[in-house]
Structure formats: structure tokens, C-alpha cells
Amino acid sequence: MNNTSNNQFIIPFVGLKVGMHDFEFELTDSFFEENEYSLIQKGNVLVNLAFEKKETMMIGNYRVTGDVLVSCNRCNDDLDVSLGAEYKLVYKFDNAPSNDETLVIVYPEEFELDVRVTLLELINVSLPVRAVHDEGECNDDMLDLLDEYVVNADDDSDDELYEELDEELESEITAEDEEDVSEEIDPRWEALKNLKK
């Protein structure tokens, strides 16, 4: 383990030799409790980082495994979720910021990386889009309460309702894209396309 108890999330890359370096981060309940806005209440997560230092950049291959406690999106009771995912981030030495989510800019005056926020973000994106208990495991009292207050409730299950909403949204986006494309085509490009034939 390359991390210390006081600075366990700091990687002093300036002092590292060019080549591969391995880091391991054991994240427990205290890590998630410190992050007030975290979706995760508790957890036991291991993050292995294969960190490659090059002359002009660094590459971090993160492997996230473990279990976390979140709220069920259906009944709001506690739900255990198992995690297993891998991510690659490129750390580039530069002055200009980037909008690329897989590219992290390291400014010339920096000499170390604090990966605490990165770890939390990677764990959060490892969560399922919709975390719910298996059928029959939700809190029945809460489901009854929801049924009582849901407007326009019908016999469709939650999953069928979400599928219908996704399909409607997808068809709306596709129709809008087609309209945008037809409006944006410049007649001069059409003329140039005809020249190639």
C-alpha cells in the first residue's frame, strides 16, 4: 500500500519515477459520512489504482469493487448494492481546462493529486441508474402510502411506466434531431456533394 493514514488520498506524482505505480484505497463508512451530499450512506469499497506516469501525462486505471448502502428509489428503505466497475482517466499537463470527462488537467504549479473527489464520483457513477429492491422486498407500508397519494395511478408497474417514459423521450429526441438536421443543411454543401458524383 502506497497510501498513509494522514494523506491517504494524495498522490505526490512529482516524486514518482516514470512507470507503473499501484495504489489501494479502502473506503469505509467514515469516508461516505464525511461527504454530506453523497447518495451513499455507508459502504465498504476497495479501489485499486494502477497509475502510470509518463513524461507528458499520467494514466489512472481505477477498479472499484465492494458494497454500499443507498436508499431504494421505490420505497426509500435501505438497499445494499454491489459495485464492480473499471474506469480510465488521463491526467494531462496543460494550462487550458477541458470538458472531456475522462481527461483531468494538471496545471504546471501542481505537484500532487488529491483523488478523494475522484473516488467518490467514480463510486457514484458505478451505482445503477435506478436502485430498487427485488420484487416483494420493498417496505409494504411505504408502497401503500405511495399508492394512496400517487395521482393518475393505474395498474402499470413502475418498470413499465419508466419504459414508456423512456420510449416517449427517445422518440421526441429523434424527431427533434431530424428536424434540426434538415434545417441545418446548407444548400452549398448539397451542391458540393453533387460535384463528387
At 37-83, the pLDDT tens digits run 778 879 999 999 999 999 888 999 999 999 999 988 888 888 899 99
Distance CA 158, CA 154 (A): 10
| Pairing state between β 113-114 and 103-106 | unpaired
Pairing of strands 78-93, 103-106: parallel
Q: Tens digits of per-residue pLDDT, 17-36?
A: 999 999 999 999 999 988 87
pTM: 0.68
Considering the chain, what percentage of its residues have pLDDT values greater than 90?
Answer: 34
